[in-house]
Amino acid sequence: DAKTTQPNSMESNEEEPVHLPCNHSTISGTDYIHWYRQLPSQGPEYVIHGLTSNVNNRMASLAIAEDRKSSTLILHRATLRDAAVYYCILRDRGRDDKIIFGKGTRLHILP
């Protein structure tokens, strides 16, 4: 399975944008890039996913590099409720539905 590399932790100030990076240099042409997050004492929740083009939804934006070897999850205006572990995951659309979670990035939001 293609792997992702994320920083262990990041800090950001409340109400400022946050850019969470993810490297996936061995990505294949059929891999989707998914982001999930896990708030304290909760199960993971879906944030966003994309294949080649940048994506926006009500939670975040996903910027995908032209060569697809990296991507960035953008929280436009972080709040204290965004403090969580963020997981960047590759999922092969030609295979089954498994999600393999890595260690993720623990995001701390400073008031």
- Note the residues at the interface with another protein (CB under 8 A): 32, 36, 42-46, 49, 91-103
Select 21 or 44, whichever has its Cβ closest to another protein: 44
Question: How near is the Cβ of 63 to another protein at its closest, in Å?
Answer: 19
Question: How near is the Cβ of 7 to another protein at its closest, in Å?
Answer: 16
Q: DSSP secondary-structure letter at 5?
A: B
Phi and psi, residue 82, nearest 5°: -85, -5
Tell me the C-alpha distance between 24 and 33, whole Å: 9
Select 67 or 97, whichever has its Cβ closest to another protein: 97
Which residue from 16, 20, 37 is spatially nearest to 71, judged by alpha carbons? Answer: 20
Question: How near is the Cβ of 18 to another protein at its closest, in Å?
Answer: 22
Cβ-contact 69, 42 below 8 angstroms: no
Select 46 or 65, whichever has its Cβ closest to another protein: 46
Tell me the C-alpha distance between 91 and 110, whole Å: 32
Select 69 or 95, whichever has its Cβ closest to another protein: 95
How many other C-beta atoms lie within 10 A of the C-beta of residue 95? 10
